[in-house]
Amino acid sequence: MNIIEAKNLTFSYTDKPLLADLTFSVPAGSFVAIAGPNGVGKTTLLNLLSALLKTQSGSIILDGKGIRSFSAAMLARKIAVVRQEFIPPFGFSVIQTVLMARTPYYNRLGFETPADKEIAAGALKATDIADLAERQLAQISGGERQRVFIARALAQKTPILLLDEPTSFLDLRHQVKIYDLLKKMQIEEKKTVIAITHDINLAAQYCDNVLLLAQDARYYQGTPNDVFSTETIGKVYGIGGFSGAVRTQKFFLPLGKYARDYRVIRHTSACENKT
């Protein structure tokens, strides 16, 4: 069953269309990666899926209903969004920020219920920032802040998570931990996770499906192994590199002209050309 279906999505900011006739579906409980070079419309697509942007033509069906029929409150019960971290104008703390996600569930007096506090504590633990609970957002690192935003989305307790490059500021350890967490959410809590990512190798290891957006509103979709072929990567990203296989999944290491092992590419492509 598809929890999200996008049909013939077209969107443009100027007269040149960014997304044209984009059709794809997200099966419920799957982990989808949205990849592609800069400026190709990934964040725009995310904003359309989270109803921040109005569709210009085409439709988005969420759980069988058109996305426009959802009120903000209803939508918030279905989708939680994690965008790029930032420092807010006022000095909220980590725990205050995470608990904001529970605002629709506060009690009559406008205060957090014990259940809310428990959910928030769980989210902090899952993102490994429980010890930062009372620090102000301005006083922690960008990576830690990103985890706060993720924790906030988790606290919303929605079946769908949308994330915009959630690991861009994180160190290796936390990159893996976040993907592990997202995968865990998918497996244990049956969440549907849609993440925009630049890391195609991590996407290959964790995601079930990939939607690769390219210039001129082209796109590719399929499993990571299908989509991330050297050829496609070369076409879409315009770079070459070394591809290999780990065990079940491929990996790709981009190499530029001055990279130490650059020669591997010419050798490999020479081999490929021969076959």
Partner 1 sequence: MKIIANKWFWLAVFVLSWTVAGVAMFSDDTTAITEHGGPCPQRIVAMAPNLTEILFALGLEDNIVGVTEYSNHPPSARQKPVMGTFWQPNIEAVVAARPDLVVALGFNRQAGLAHRLARLNFNTLTVNIETIPQLLDAIEKIGTVTNKTAAARRLSERLRNNLDNISRRVAAGHRPKVLYIIQIEPLRVAGRQTFINELIELAGGENAIAPTINKYPPVGPEQVIASNPDVIIQPVMDVMEKADLTAGKQQLVEYFDRFQSIAAVSGNRIYVIDGDAVSRLGPRIDQAAETVARCLSPELFEEP
Partner 2 sequence: MTKLLTPPTLLTRILLATVMLAAVMLACSLLGTEHISLKKALEPSHPGVVNPDYEIFFRVRGPRIILAAIVGAALACSGAVLQALLRNPLADPYILGISSGAGLGAIIAITIFSRLNWMLWGRSPIAFFAFVGALATAGLVWTVARLTGKSQVTHLLLAGVVVNAFFSAMIMFLTSIANSSQVQRTIFWLMGNIIEEDPLVLWTSGGFVLAGIFALFFISPQLNALSFSEVDAKAMGINTAATQTVAFVLAALITAVAVSLSGLVGFAGLIVPHGVRLVFGPDHRQLLPLSALIGAGFLVAADTLARIVVAPAQLPVGVVTALIGGPFFLVLLVRYSRRIDWLAK
CB nearer to partner 2: pick between 77 and 183: 77
Which range, of 46-54, 100-108, 198-206, 263-271, touches partner 1 by CB under 8 A? 100-108
For 207, residues 6+ apart whose C-beta sits below 8 A from its C-beta are: 31, 32, 33, 195, 224
CB nearer to partner 1: pick between 108 and 274: 108
Round to whole Å and give the CA distance between 108 and 61: 34
Binding residues for partner 2, how many (CB under 8 A)?
43
Kindly state the tokens that stand for 90.
């006022």
For 86, residues 6+ apart whose C-beta sits below 8 A from its C-beta are: 145
Q: For partner 2, what does the binding mask look like between residues 85 and 104, x meaning CB under 8 A?
A: -xxxxxxxx-xxx-xxx-xx
Q: Which sign, positive or negative, has the C-alpha torsion 61, 64, 69, 74?
A: negative
CB nearer to partner 2: pick between 75 and 213: 75
What does 135 interact with, of partner 2, partner 1, none (CB < 5 to 8 A by kind)? partner 2
Q: For partner 2, what does the binding mask look like between residues 187 and 216, x meaning CB under 8 A?
A: ------------------------------
Q: How far is CA 38 from the centre of its chain?
A: 15
* DSSP conformational letter for 136: B
CB nearer to partner 2: pick between 117 and 235: 117
Tokens 């569709």 sit at which residue? 55
Per DSSP, helices labelled H in 32-167 are: 42-49, 72-78, 94-99, 114-126, 142-155
Which range, of 50-58, 102-110, 122-130, 177-185, touches partner 1 by CB under 8 A? 102-110
Look at strands 160-164 and 192-196 and give their pairing.
parallel
Tokens 């942007």 sit at which residue? 53
- Verify binding: residue 108, partner 1, rule CB under 8 A: yes
* List of residues contacting partner 2 (CB under 8 A): 50, 52, 71-77, 79-81, 83, 86-93, 95-97, 99-101, 103-104, 106, 109-112, 117, 134-139, 152, 156
